[in-house]
Structure 1
Amino acid sequence: MAVALALVILALGSVLFHFLSPWYFTPIASNWRAIDTTITITFWVTGFVFVALSLFMAWAVIRYRHRPGSHAEYQPENKKLEWWLLVLTAVGVAAMLAPGLVVWSQVVNVPQEAQVVEAVAQQWHWSYRLPGKDGKLGTTHARYVTDANPFGMNPTDAAGRDDILLTTPELRVPLGKPLKLLLRSKDVLHNFAIAEMRVKMDMVPGMVTYTWFTPIRTGSFDLLCEELCGVGHFAMRGRLVVDEPAAYAAWLEKQPTYAQLRDTPAANATIGKNFYAVCVACHGVNGEGNVALNAPKLAGQSAWYLERQLHLFKSGARGTHEKDTFGKMMAPMAATLADGSAVADVVAYIASLPDTRPASTIKGNADKGRARWATCAACHGAEGRGIAATNAPRLQGMNDWYMATQLKNFRDGVRGAHPQDIYGAQMGLVSGMLRDDAAVGDILAYINTR
């Protein structure tokens, strides 16, 4: 009797958990309600079978329990029962498969009017390419891929001149317009998944896969890689922002094309020297840094990284946290650079400064730091010289006291918390492995040996 009662409680408890549980579908934001419907049908079919079998087993346990003097009756076969089981099983399987086949036919047939967008995955970063006014994407090839041309754009293809290249993990799309995503991976297997849009598709190196959806409500939605792609997999996050058509058009109009980016005049270090006059007081004549003023060494740091940080300071994405005392000091200094050209010019001048290795100030256990460095090396490189493709700056030969401050800021949410500082948010996740100041000291001690 106890076994039968347990089976009944298990069946009824499972049903109650299904209906009362707070864990269910993420509220949908696309046209794919049919996907939810197929899953609901599967729940009903499998749920009915589960409850029926559980109750049947409970009845059988009671009906055929042991009684003194009773004997089992042997039946080698029962054609009627077998036919009933065959038909009911076939109906149940068909009820689950048929709706899925109907939905799949819709998934693989993209509307003709769908806007095409290319999403490119690379450890551990998302980037996107949108067609320009001609509505066509230019051709790409792996042989063209460089730090300056991360998409591998074909420079001789006129169709790509007006393509819009977005190296940020944030993609904006218009509300109510079908969107076809061409999915490309530059290194290993990735997976493009946005739960609210009900889209999830593998990205295979050497192939272009695709999926599509129509956003039905505005908002910001998390983009995740749901294929294990290395040690930084957990930090490979992006964002889809759905805007009203007018707001999207205004945003799109401000984005530079591939031709505009390629034809941008080279930065002028001579002009940059004049801008650097403001920086000298803190960072030093040769960009060597000044610990007394909490101004880090700039000389030798990657130009792309310095440009990004200056833009973050200018936009308010960095240096606005109430606990970021020194970041607040830097923000008004960055504001003296009027535009992107001024930023590029001053960075070009910094690149001309002599790169002198600073003295070490941090004490720690380098052997312990070596074990932790394996995670850092995946992005920053084995020697810590930085890798532009993974958006990881140089650490080797930079101020250890400054890196200690920034690692603690990342860990404590002082830096990387702003929604526009997406790479800072990634670093905030990774820095969580440094649980205390001793761990920070150990890893910096190891970096100082490189």
Structure 2
Amino acid sequence: MVVAVVFVLIVIGSVVFHFLSPWWWTPIASNWGYIDNTILITFWITGAVFAAVVLFAAYCLWKFRHREGHKADYEPENKRLENWLMGITAVGVAAMLAPGLFVWNQFINVPAEATEAEVLGQQWQWAFRLPGADGKLGLSDTKLVAADNPYGIHPDDPNGRDDVLIEADYLHLPIDKPVKVLLRSTDVLHDFYVAEFRAKMDIIPGSVTYFWFTPTRTGQFEVLCAELCGTGHPYMRGGVVVDTQEDYDAWLAGQSTYAQLYAPEVLETAQLQ
């Protein structure tokens, strides 16, 4: 009986803690409220199953407790009960998976009007690249990464000359404009994560992964690496600043391009031509 009471108290405590907990999500700053809703659906379904299973265990401990003169019945199979359990389980799993598949479909289909921003992950810092006036990012390759070309931009690609490079600084983005984030790594597996945006993606060496979001709140947000990437992993932090369009334009005008920083001779040749 004591164990049954403990089980009931565990369920009550878990429900109360869920509603009164001081630890909850940071205020959302992007369009991905769908992800929050999907997580809430999962919480409700798994929470209901947890409560039902624990309370049923408590009921069994009370109902079938040892009593003089009572003998347990042996029933190895119950097809009706098994069918009910399989059906309820299938409905529950489908209810958790369906919203996630719906959100994933949105997550991988980037709006046509989205701009691009590249994130370069390396042990243990972040770097960013934005397209220049031509609106196109230049070709890049990790094989070209060097001290005088840390982004691995192809020097012969004219689209890369005006690419805006942000090193050891914050990435700025305009509010209410969708952005496709292209993710590259120069060494090991990383993961670009901003809690307020609710969106993240692994950065896999040798490939370019992506996700998209629309910033919906101005402010400064911390970038974390959500994948263990070595001894300096806890210190791999950066920042994203969401600006009004006017502030973003002013910031962008003060940034340097690839040609200005690492290929001045290319820039001079282009100007002479």
TM-score normalised by L of structure 1? 0.58
| Aligned twin of 2:132 | 132
Does 2:233 correspond to 1:233?
Answer: yes
- Preserved CA contact (<8 Å) 1:122 1:185: yes
Distance in 2 between residues matched to 1:74 and 1:249, nearest whole Å? 76
Residue equivalent to 2:269: none
Deviation at 1:167, TM superposition (A): 1.1
| 1:54 partnered with 2:79 | no
Gap change, CA 1:263 and 1:74, over 3 Å in 2: closer
> Percentage identity across aligned positions?
58
What is the rounded CA distance, in whole Å, between the counterparts of 1:173 and 1:101 in structure 2? Answer: 28
Q: Structure with the greater relative contact order (CA < 8 A, sep ≥ 6): 1 or 2?
A: 2
Deviations 1:48-81, CA, capped at 9 Å, x for gaps: 1111111111111111111111111122322221
Superposed, 1:296-335 pairs within 5 Å as none
Equivalent position of 1:4 in the other structure = 4
SS in 1 for 2:205: coil
Q: Secondary structure at the match of 1:184?
A: strand
Q: Deviations over 1:321-341 (max 9, x none)?
A: xxxxxxxxxxxxxxxxxxxxx
Contact 2:148 2:262 in 1 (8 A): no
Displacement of 1:263 in angstroms is: 5.3
Separation in structure 2 between the aligned mates of residue 70 and residue 58 of structure 1, nearest angstrom = 19
1:80 and 2:80 matched: yes
In our comparison, the structure showing a higher alpha carbon Rg is 1
Letter in 1 for 2:248: Y
What whole-Å deviation, never above 9, does each CA across 1:148-175 have from its counterpart, x for those lacking one? 1111111111111111111124100000
Distance 1:12 1:95 in 2: 24
Q: How many residues align?
A: 265
Contact 1:169 1:237 in 2 (8 A): no
Cα distance in 2 for partners of 1:115, 1:126 equals: 20
Q: Secondary structure at the match of 2:82?
A: helix
Q: Which amino acid aligns with 1:67?
A: R
Distance 2:29 2:263 in 1: 39
Distance 1:254 1:240 in 2: 17
User: How is 1:35-434 mapped onto 2 (pairs within 5 angstroms)?
Assistant: 35-262=35-262, 264=264
Q: Give the distance between the partners of 1:6 and 1:221, measured in 2 at CA.
A: 42
Name the SS of the counterpart of 1:188 in structure 2: coil
SS at match of 2:134: coil
Higher relative strand content: 2
- CA offset at residue 262 of structure 1? 4.0
TM-score where L is the length of structure 2: 0.94
Q: Distance between the aligned counterparts of 2:55 and 2:228, measured in 1?
A: 41
SS of equivalent residue, structure 1 residue 210 = strand
Three-state SS of the structure 1 residue aligned to 2:140 is: coil
5+ residue gaps, structure 2: 266-273
SS of 2:200's partner is strand
Q: Deviations over 1:245-287 (max 9, x none)?
A: 111011111212222334548xxxxxxxxxxxxxxxxxxxxxx
Question: 2:65 and 2:257 mapped to 1: Cα distance?
Answer: 78
Whether the 8 Å contact between 1:4 and 1:62 is mirrored in structure 2 is yes
**Structure 1 residue aligned with 2:271:** none
Aligned counterparts of 1:179 and 1:79: Cα–Cα separation in 2? 53
Q: Secondary structure at the match of 1:222?
A: strand
Shift of 1:102: 0.5
- What secondary structure, in the 3-state scheme, does the structure 2 residue paired with 1:118 have? strand
Residue 14, structure 1, aligned to residue 14, structure 2 = yes
Contact 2:29 2:216 in 1 (8 A): yes
Change (3 A) 1:65 1:117: same
Residue by residue over 1:20-66, the C-alpha shift from the partner in whole angstroms, topping out at 9 and shown as x without a partner, is: 11111121111000101111001100111111111111111111111
